[in-house]
Chains A and B, each alone.
Chain A
Amino acid sequence: MIDILIKNLPIIVVLCPLMMSLFVVLIPNIFFSWALTTLSTFLTFLFSILLYQEIQIHSHISYALGKWMPPIGIEYIIDKVAIIPIIIISGISFLATIFAYKIMPEEIEKKSISKVYSLWLLAIAGLLGLVTTGDAFNLFVFLEISSLASVALVAMGAHQDKQALVAAYNYLIIGAVGATLYVIGVGLLYGVTGTLNMADLTNRIADQNNNRALIAGFGFMIVGIMVKAAVFPLHIWLPRAYAYAPSAVSVLLAATATKASLYILARILFSIFENSENLINNTLLFVILPLSLSAMFAGTIMAIYEKDIKRLLAHSSIAQIGYITLAFAIGTKASIAAGFIHMFNHAIIKGGLFIAITSIGFYIKKRITINNLSGLGREMPITFFCFVLCSLSLAGLPLTAGFISKLYLIKASISSDGIWLAILILISSALSVVYLWKIIEVMWMREGKNIVKKENPAIYISLIIITFLNIYFGLDASLVVNGSFEAADKLIGDPK
């Protein structure tokens, strides 16, 4: 029994939320639909932990879906790279589901709660499928499952604010164009190589040196995925979608959605096209590097001038995505490892910040702007304390998780491109303190209006867990760092 479970883990991780979403929609009761969602996200998390242990033994699991052998059939690949986003997505979605219990019925009509939880599980299943699949076209299907479900989730925010509808609409249109561009790329690749399996693609691309259709296909794929990952000039959909979504949805999307796409970006750059070095090096140097640098500064500056706090955090996400793509752009083993470290750390940092901010919205019952926050730090000490710790982590102070990722990023950039990249990273981090301090100052220094009587434990339990993770991975980062270096090792084999 356990044997069968272990053998089929790669598909069970995806199927668990996917199948449960069908049952959740049938339960009208708010509590029970939430309980079933929590159970299934917990099981998913448990399975991904089991998968992590399996990976430590086998280091590469290839699962043939329906016993159709790859490259003909669809293959699911779990290796040391894929396990990082799997752990991030399943872990954060579990925490976000706990957080959703109290706050979801406040913001969404009671009768549609179970449908929302069903969509919630669908989005998680789509994201998990995205990172487990080893088939380029299957990836597109999961990309669309996750993005259609998240669009519908964002649109549920319309119960509070009608702008959620426009945000969801823009997310849908831009996301669909991105996904279609990706499909064009896959089509061109298929036309040239005659295969859709990623491992097979890698081998066959090596024979097709400088085929123009191949380069065009690569361009289409990269641009399509960059839209989904919200890399700088293609980020337009992100701030609004995160700002107007229901609180719990903001937490889920901000912490997980772009991470899966960033993983796919790394996969395309360093795994599928690993044999066309010239193409990749040019792309990294002339496309990804300038875009990441502009993302770091544009995102931070937009965040400084923003007054709506959820939008502010979304703009800051764009800057943080810039750090991750910058790490990929440097292209050495150490820097790619730094990218994965920051991917993990940013998930727990941004998850914590969004939970803290949206739980303030739970008490003050209006849009969270900078003016509404005055004095709330004294009234909600626990939330405020966790918020400050997560902020410090975002800015990269020692003893927090953010410091570890900044440390490795700066080390990697100094050892490859000299000092100027490291200086730019430091300036951008210093600027991020500006917008964080703006919030902390208003919350702590100004007079309050005594709105909050007592903090609700159901709201802050997941915040405390996630803040603890921030501190823990700042003190002992060996788990994340080792995992990321193994992943980078797997992605680019040669020691650069």
Chain B
Amino acid sequence: MISSTIGIWNYWIVFCLMMIGLFLVIGRKNFLKKIVGLAIFQTSVFLLYITFGKIKGGTPPILNDSIDTIYSNPLPHVLILTAIVVGVATTALGLSLVLRINSEYGSIEEDDVSAQDLVDYHDDIETGKNFDLKFKK
């Protein structure tokens, strides 16, 4: 029981990282910290795939002459290479959005930003005070 629980410690790490990442995305109010959480969440998935690919005693998948060689599965590594690229693109886009939000709102805290939005929304809809919203002349 104990050995099988410890034997899959890779999966425990995946599980912990996944929950930490998801908690950061959901629980934090800071836009930057959410992106950090998202990156951790995605990394945990990378680890999950790599763990699938490993076979006990397996060697790297390079063809050799002996017959009874056990190869690790190379496909998950290749898939994760793609997923890492996607993850980098997501993080980069997210960070640039955070930069823009900071320059427009002067804050990257969700509470500040949504408070400002609420005021704007109220002005737009109820009173029609914001007359020309920076529309091009």
Chain A-chain B contacts (Cβ-Cβ < 8 Å), number: 103
Q: Is the CB of A187 within 8 A of B42?
A: no
Give the interface segment out of A20-28, A55-63, A165-173, A453-461: A165-173
Binary interface encoding of chain B residues 100-137 relative to chain A, with 1 for a CB under 8 A from any of its CBs, else 0: 11001100000001100100110011101011111110
User: How distant is the Cα of A152 from the Cα of B130 in the complex, in angstroms?
Assistant: 26
The stretch among B2-10, B45-53, B61-69 that forms the contact with chain A is B45-53
With a cutoff of 8 Å between Cβ atoms, the chain B residues found around residue A151 in the complex are 93, 97
Please, which residue of chain A has its CB at the minimum distance from the CB of B31?
Answer: A169
CB distance from B127 to the nearest CB of A (A): 9
Q: Is the CB of A165 within 8 A of B93?
A: no
Whether B38 lies near A173 (C-beta < 8 A) is: yes
**Residues in B neighbouring A371, C-beta threshold 8 A:** 125, 128
Q: A165-B97, A169-B101 are known contacts. Are A187 and B52 too (CB-CB below 8 A)?
A: yes
Contact B125 A308 (CB under 8 A): yes
Q: How far is the CA of A137 from the CA of B86 in the complex (A)?
A: 12
Is A148 touching B82 in the complex (CB atoms < 8 A)? no
When distances are taken between beta carbons in the complex, the residues of chain A under 8 Å from B100 are 155, 158, 165
For residue A39, which residues in chain B have a CB less than 8 angstroms away from its CB? Answer: none
**Contact in complex: B41, A369 (CB < 8 Å):** no
Closest chain B residue to A370, Cβ basis: B125
- Is residue A176 within 8 Å, beta carbon to beta carbon, of the partner chain? yes
Interface membership of chain B positions 21-52, coded 1 if the CB is closer than 8 angstroms to chain A and 0 otherwise: 01001000001001100100110010011001
Contacts of A308 in B (CB 8 A): 121, 124-125
Say which residue of A140, A144, A166, A190 sits within 8 Å of B76 (CB atoms).
Answer: A190
| Chain B residues whose CB sits within 8 angstroms of the CB of A152 once the complex forms | 93
Do residues B90 and A148 form an inter-chain contact, with CB atoms below 8 A?
Answer: yes
User: Is B79 an interface residue when CB atoms closer than 8 A count as contact?
Assistant: yes
Residue in B41, B86, B97, B135 with the greatest tally of chain A CB atoms within 10 Å: B97
Q: How far does the alpha carbon of A107 sit from the alpha carbon of B101 in the complex, in Å?
A: 19
B94 touching A107 by the CB < 8 A rule? no
Mask: chain A, 207-237; 1 = CB below 8 Å from B; 0 = not = 0000000000000000000000000000000
Verify A165–B101 contact, CB threshold 8 A: yes
Q: How far is the CB of B18 from chain A (nearest CB, A)?
A: 8
Interface size class, chain B: 35 or more
> How many angstroms between the C-alpha atoms of A89 and B120 in the bound complex?
34
Q: A163-B120, A165-B101 are in contact. Are A365 and B86 (CB under 8 A)?
A: no
Chain A contacts for B94, CB-based, 8 A: 169, 172-173, 176
Is there contact, CB below 8 Å, between B49 and A172? no
Min CB–CB distance B125 → chain A (angstroms): 5
Is A280 positioned at the interface, with any CB of B under 8 Å from its CB? no
Contact B38 A176 (CB under 8 A): yes
B83 contacts chain A at the CB level, 8 A cutoff: yes
Residues of B contacting A7 with CB < 8 Å? none
Pairwise interchain contact A369-B125, C-beta atoms closer than 8 A: yes
Q: How far is the CA of A165 from the CA of B49 in the complex (A)?
A: 33
Query: Would you call A446 an interface residue if the criterion is a C-beta within 8 Å of the partner chain's C-beta atoms?
Result: no
Chain A residues closer than 8 Å to B19, beta-carbon distance: none
Interface: A275 (CB within 8 A): no
Rounded to whole angstroms, the CA-CA distance of A158 and B86 in the bound complex is 24
A-B contacts, 8 of them at CB < 8 A, read: A141-B86, A148-B90, A162-B101, A169-B98, A173-B25, A176-B38, A184-B45, A371-B128
Residues of B participating in the A interface, judged by any CB pair closer than 8 Å: 22, 25, 31, 34-35, 38, 41-42, 45, 48-49, 52, 76, 79, 82-83, 86, 89-90, 93-94, 97-98, 100-101, 104-105, 113-114, 117, 120-121, 124-126, 128, 130-136
Given contacts A177-B25, A307-B125, 10 further A-B contacts (CB under 8 A): A137-B82, A161-B133, A163-B120, A173-B94, A176-B38, A177-B22, A187-B49, A187-B52, A191-B52, A365-B135
Which 3 residue pairs across A and B have the least CB separation, nearest first?
A162-B104, A365-B135, A144-B86
